[in-house]
């Protein structure tokens, strides 16, 4: 190879907008779309390098696992550790934790929505469609990654004991229904939530499709009249306990779901 040819190759690698230098520069600048598997360069999309794409997949898989086990409050360091990458690698893909959380919530909400649609399209019996959706969703573990706004808890403050003024009413865990004098807090459909928040991560679409499953089962007399969409989603979110043994977790989830389904059926 001649010296002139070698110099031309070296110069071409230094030219802005080409090669790995441009990728690194755009990544450092937080280029839009980088974390979704493509990098925008001058209005064109360039694929991620093989190693960068592999790291992205590791980060997303680790985020699903960590957030599924510990909730969305888990730190980014835990995600990086599970993915076996540096925390800087995570932040290069996702400039803030909110961006990563939104990505995971969007994907899992879309997955639940597709499962609900499949149940609607493949099961003629209303109760079979609803129970299929619940079983499929619980088995997949997607309920642990639902965005919080679809799991709002409505409470009747007149029957609740005094609590600190700064308590988060919307996120309060429901009390057990009891006799006279005991609290009665039942999960209801989301209310008092700004429209833009409900629309986040496809939540409104999920609520609409699951609402059709609920309406069909209720109209057929199979579902209790007081059961709401939020009740159904709460079942999905809570019927998949995180246990260290996979076999025990599957058995516990199936047993718990059987009990919850019986509680949802009309008498």
Domain holding 68: CATH number? 1.10.10.60
> Can you give the pLDDT at residue 100?
95
**Same domain flag for 194 and 81:** no
Secondary element (H or E) of residue 41: strand 38-41
Q: What digits encode the pLDDT tens for the residues 114-148?
A: 999 999 999 999 999 999 999 999 888 777 888 77
Task: Judge whether 222 lies within some domain.
Answer: yes
**Same domain flag for 204 and 83:** no
**Same domain flag for 252 and 195:** yes
> Can you give the pLDDT at residue 253?
85
Distances (CA, A) of 117 to 105, 167, 193: 18, 37, 25
**Same domain flag for 144 and 40:** no
Number of domains in the chain: 2
Q: Cβ neighbours of residue 115 under 8 Å, at least 6 residues apart? A: 133, 136, 137, 140, 142
- At 116, which CATH number? 1.10.357
The DSSP code for 97 is H
Task: Judge whether 221 lies within some domain.
Answer: yes
> Can you give the pLDDT at residue 245?
79
- Please identify every stretch of the chain with a pLDDT value under 70, giving residue numbers as ranges: 1-48, 152-201
**Same domain flag for 212 and 111:** yes
**Same domain flag for 146 and 204:** yes
> Can you give the pLDDT at residue 130?
96
Region label for 82, one of left (φ > 0), alpha (ψ between -120 and 50) or beta (otherwise) = alpha
Task: Judge whether 236 lies within some domain.
Answer: yes
> Can you give the pLDDT at residue 4?
53
> Can you give the pLDDT at residue 50?
80
> Can you give the pLDDT at residue 152?
65
Distances (CA, A) of 39 to 32, 90, 150, 193: 7, 16, 32, 35
Q: Cβ neighbours of residue 189 under 8 Å, at least 6 residues apart? A: 154, 207, 228, 229, 230
**Domain range spanning residue 76?**
31-95
């Amino acid at each position: 190879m001649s010296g002139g040819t070698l110099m031309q190759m070296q110069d071409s690698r230094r030219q802005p907008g080409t090669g790995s230098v441009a990728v690194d520069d755009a990544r450092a600048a937080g280029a839009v779309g980088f974390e979704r598997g493509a990098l925008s360069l001058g209005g064109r999309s360039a694929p991620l390098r093989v190693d960068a794409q592999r790291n992205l997949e590791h980060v997303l898989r680790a985020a699903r696992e960590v957030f599924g086990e510990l909730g969305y409050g888990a730190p980014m360091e835990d995600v990086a550790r599970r993915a076996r990458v540096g925390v800087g690698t995570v932040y290069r893909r996702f400039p803030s934790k909110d961006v990563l959380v939104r990505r995971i919530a969007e994907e899992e909400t879309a997955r639940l929505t597709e499962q609900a649609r499949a149940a609607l399209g493949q099961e003629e019996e209303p109760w079979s469609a609803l129970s299929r959706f619940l079983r499929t969703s619980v088995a997949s573990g997607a309920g642990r990654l639902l965005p919080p706004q679809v799991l709002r808890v409505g409470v009747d403050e007149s029957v609740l004991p005094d609590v600190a003024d700064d308590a988060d009413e919307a996120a309060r865990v429901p009390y057990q229904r009891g006799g006279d004098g005991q609290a009665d807090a039942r999960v209801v459909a989301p209310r008092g939530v700004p429209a833009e928040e409900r629309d986040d991560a496809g939540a409104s679409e999920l609520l609409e499709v699951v609402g059709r499953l609920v309406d069909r089962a209720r109209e057929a007399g199979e579902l209790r009249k007081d059961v709401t969409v939020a009740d159904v989603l709460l079942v999905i979110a809570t019927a998949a306990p995180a246990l260290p043994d996979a076999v025990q977790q599957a058995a516990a989830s199936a047993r718990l779901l059987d009990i919850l389904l019986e509680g949802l059926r009309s008498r």
